[in-house]
Structure formats: C-alpha cells, structure tokens
Amino acid sequence: MRNTLGYRRAMDTITRFAPSPTGRLHVGNIRTALHNWMLARKAGGRFMLRIDDTDAERSEEHFVDAVRADLAWLGLEADGEERQSARLALYEDAFQKLKDAGRVYPAFETQQELELKRKIQLGRGLPPIYDRAALKLTEEERAANQAAGLAPHWRFRLDHEEAIGWDDGVRGAQKFDAAQLSDPVIRRADGSWLYMLPSAVDDIDMGITDVLRGEDHVSNTAVQVQMFTALGATPPAFAHEALLVGREGKLSKRLGSLGCDAFRERDMEPEALVALLARLGTSLPVEPIAQRQPLIDSFDLATFGRAPAKFDDAELERVNTAIVHQMNYADVSDRLPAGMDEAGWHAIRPNVGTVGEAAKWWALVTGPIKQPSFSAEDRAFLAEAAQQLEWGDNPWAKLTTRLKESTGRKGKALFLPLRQALTGMDHGPDMAELLPLMGEQEARARLAEA
C-alpha cells in the first residue's frame, strides 16, 4: 500500500494513540497515550489520534468527545486525527489485495463449534489454535454453505514458513512460530472489521513509525508483522510495555474505572498524573515534576522494565501535593475562593493537598470560627493578648515576643492558645502570615471572645 495521506516526512517519528469510543479512558489508556506523546515529542515528531470506531453498535459519539477532552486536560495535544469509520474504503482495498494473494479465506464455523474445538484441544494437551479446517473446504462446499444461508467470516492466513520476529523496544528480541498461532479473524460475517487488519492498514497509510502499546498486544503484533509484509510494507518499530496493576500487585478492575473524570472529581492536577504515569514502570524515580520538558528529555524505552507497573493512589496524592506546593498564585487564582489574594495563597499553600482545600483554610481568615473551651488560666492569658496586640509590620512576632516577656510562657503553652483563639484549630498555616490577613479588628474580636 502507498501512503495516501501525506503524514510522513523524511526522518519523522510518528506515533499514535488509538482508543475505541466505547467507554471513558482509564488510567492504563492514559499511560499509553502519554508515552506515545512523549516518544514523539522527544524525537521532534508527531503524535496522532486515531479513533477506532469500526464497531458501530458500541461506539458512541460522546465518548469521542470525552477522549478529546481528556487529552486536552492532560495537555497531550494531537498533531492530527483520523476516524476508522471514515476509512472503510482503505480496508476494503487491502482486503481485496490479500484475498487476491490467497492470504485471506472464508470460514463458516459458529462460535459454539469453535469453542468445542478449543475444549477438545485443551483436553488433549494441545494449544487451542484454529485447525484451519476451512482451508480444506472445496469450492462446492463453500457454495453449499452460502446457499444454506451461512455467511462466512474471514481469516488471515499466516505463512507458516515465514519467520516472525522483531526487536522490541522494551522486551528485546521476539520470535514466534507462525504454526503455533491461530489464523486471526479479520472480518465478521456481517462484513464489519475486527481490530487487526484496519490497524495495520492505518499504520501504513498514516506513516506510523513507532507503535508503543501494552504487552497484551504482543501476540497481535506477531500476526500483524506478517500483515505488513503481505501488504508490501515495512512494519513500524514495536515496543510493548508492562501493564498496570494495583498496589496489591494484582490486576484490578478498579484500575479500569479510574479515568480523567475520576481524577478531576478528586481535584488532582493533570501535571501530577502526568508526572506519575510518565515514569511508572521505569527505573527512573517518580518525582513531582510539573514541567513537561524534563519528563520528555528523560523518556527512554531502555528504562522500562518487564515487571508489572504498580499504580498507587497514595503515590499520586503525594505527587499532587508536592506539585500544588510549587504552584504560583497566577496558576490557581481562578480556582480560589472569593477574596483570596496572593498573600492568602502563599500563607495557605503549604497546608493543602489539592487546590480545592484552600477554601477550608481560607475560612479561618473570613470566619466565623468555632473556638474550643479554654481554662481560666488560658482565658486570662488571652485577655492579656488582646491588650498586648499591636498592629503594624509582623504583628504576630510582636505579640508573641511581648507575651513571652510578660507571662513567662514559651513553646506550646505560648503559641497553642493563641492559634486556637484566632483560628479554632490546633494546627494550620503559619500564623505570621495568617494574622495580617484577618485584619486587626477581627483578630482583636476573636481574642476578646476567647
């Protein structure tokens, strides 16, 4: 096949992310998209979005919109987009080419018949691969099946004499015996397409140079290598990364439900998710790196390991907190509670794990607050504090210095009653920053009330 769309330029690296719009992206999809984006960006190439929507019954347009929105939220801009539903003529052409070359053939077994064959093979200790019974049918037998109303599905005939192998970017040298693989079904009886052939056709036509995907696709790659050859094309470079597992080390259904919408609901920063997933499963440390370029510069398939990559919510929260603590007021001003200025953000920032938590701490400034009950001794101390309070530069330092000298209190006995009276809390932001935000009148009123 020839490249008809003109995507590929000399020396370009072109990667792709190819989700099916049958549901929301989950954390494993996000990681795949991110790594393909980083691979392209590091090489100065292009990252393509391909919507695999050939399954018309299950594909939904709102999921297409959700994919675009999720990638935009993550900052993974695509350099082009294609939809398989608009490329059916290309698949038909490729199918006819393979059919003319004798590389596809019709088969008539039902799912029940195929399942029975697999059970028999397993019972005999044999690999459950397709026995190629359909290849033994005569033209008369095929015609009779169709006359009886049986529509065939179509399989790609693997060449058992052709060696299958590639140098995998993560797994190293890979070799497969075609005779130990099933001839894959590429087209259903209703004429609709399965994944294998359209994906290979698109990779050729879109000039995809590098395919980075999960290790669950390794056997698909073995088959597709021969498809590329049969279509007269050179296969792209393949790399298969280890799949994500939960903290407990097992594949988790929960990971399949963790998507951008769930992370947004928890007020996670996209930079935190990117920083974690960029290095999850590699030998590089996960660090709260908010800027993309350092992550891109350090991206290297040689650092990817073969062991399952463990996704841990606690680690994401740790990275998120660290990144929030780096964020300037300009980065978050439109997400802060009304009235909270740059000084307020600077005071409260060290105490929040998410930007959304700022509202809770800002309430200490705006009030009202609920003070604890104080002992008679502490009430007398706070009454003196109300008298000693002097406004101006750094009123907290002046107040505590005076009280230390006049009462002899120090440490917790000095600071805790003041914090409790002024904020209603035992802990929180630095009082030297918080007190000026309250204002003199409010601070005196709270001390007097205590």
Q: How many CB atoms lie within 10 A of CB 66?
A: 19
Are β-strands 153-156 and 164-168 bridged in parallel, bridged antiparallel, or unpaired?
unpaired
Q: pLDDT exceeding 90 applies to what percent of the chain?
A: 90
253 carries a ligand binding annotation: yes
Q: Which CATH class is domain 376-449?
A: mainly alpha
- Once rounded to an integer, what is the mean pLDDT over residues 89-93? 98
Mean model confidence pLDDT for the chain? 93
CA dihedral angle for residue 34, residue 40, residue 42, residue 43, rounded to 10 degrees: 170
Q: Does the structure show a pLDDT above 80 at 372? A: yes
Domain 1-99+196-326: give its CATH code.
3.40.50.620
Q: Does the structure show a pLDDT above 90 at 5? A: no
The predicted pLDDT at position 109 comes to: 93
Q: How many CB atoms lie within 10 A of CB 180?
A: 12
Most confidently modeled of 309-313, 318-322, 390-394? 318-322
- Once rounded to an integer, what is the mean pLDDT over residues 281-299? 97
- Once rounded to an integer, what is the mean pLDDT over residues 312-330? 97
d(CA 49, CA 17): 5
Please report, for the chain, the start and end positions of each structural domain, with discontinuous segments joined by +. Answer: 1-99+196-326, 100-187, 335-361, 376-449
pLDDT digits (tens, 9 = 90+) for 133-146: 999 999 999 999 99
If pLDDT is split at 50, 70 and 90, which confidence band does 4 have?
Answer: very low
- Once rounded to an integer, what is the mean pLDDT over residues 300-323? 95
Asked whether the beta carbons of 274 and 75 are under 8 A apart, the reply is yes
If pLDDT is split at 50, 70 and 90, which confidence band does 67 have?
Answer: very high
| The pair of three-digit structure tokens given for residue 91, joined into one six-digit string | 């698949």
SS (H, E, C) the chain: CCCCCCCCCCCCCEEEECCCCCCCCCHHHHHHHHHHHHHHHHCCCEEEEEECCCCCCCCCHHHHHHHHHHHHHHCCCCCCEEEHHHCHHHHHHHHHHHHHCCCEEEECCCHHHHHHHHHHHHHCCCCCCCCCHHHHCCHHHHHHHHHCCCCCEEEECCCCCCCEEEEECCCEEEEECHHHCCCCEEECCCCCECCHHHHHHHHHHCCCCEEEEEHHHHHHHHHHHHHHHHCCCCCCEEEEECCEECCCCCCCHHHHHCCHHHHHHCCCCHHHHHHHHHHCCECCCCCCCCCHHHHHHHCCHHHECCCCEECCHHHHHHHHHHHHCCCCHHHHHHHCCCCCCHHHHHHHHHHCCCHHHHHHHHHHHHCCCCCCCCCHHHHHHHHHHHHHCCCCCCHHHHHHHHHHHHHCCCCHHHHHHHHHHHHCCCCCCCHHHHHHHHCHHHHHHHHHHC
- Once rounded to an integer, what is the mean pLDDT over residues 354-370? 95
pTM across the whole model: 0.90
Q: Which residues of 190-203 are buried (b: 16+ CB within 10 A; e: fewer)?
A: eeebbbbbbbbbbb
C-alpha angle 273-277-278 in degrees, rounded to nearest 5: 110
Asked whether the beta carbons of 56 and 192 are under 8 A apart, the reply is yes
- Once rounded to an integer, what is the mean pLDDT over residues 395-419? 95
Closest C-alpha among 320, 327, 328 to residue 354: 320
d(CA 170, CA 237): 11
pLDDT digits (tens, 9 = 90+) for 198-215: 999 999 999 999 999 999
The predicted pLDDT at position 246 comes to: 85
- Once rounded to an integer, what is the mean pLDDT over residues 392-418? 94
CATH architecture, range 100-187: Alpha-Beta Complex (3.90)
pLDDT digits (tens, 9 = 90+) for 231-258: 999 999 999 999 998 877 665 656 767 8
The predicted pLDDT at position 250 comes to: 61
Closest C-alpha among 161, 159, 160, 157 to residue 134: 157
The predicted pLDDT at position 8 comes to: 47
Cα distances from 55 to residues 19, 84, 186, 190, in angstroms, run 12, 10, 13, 12
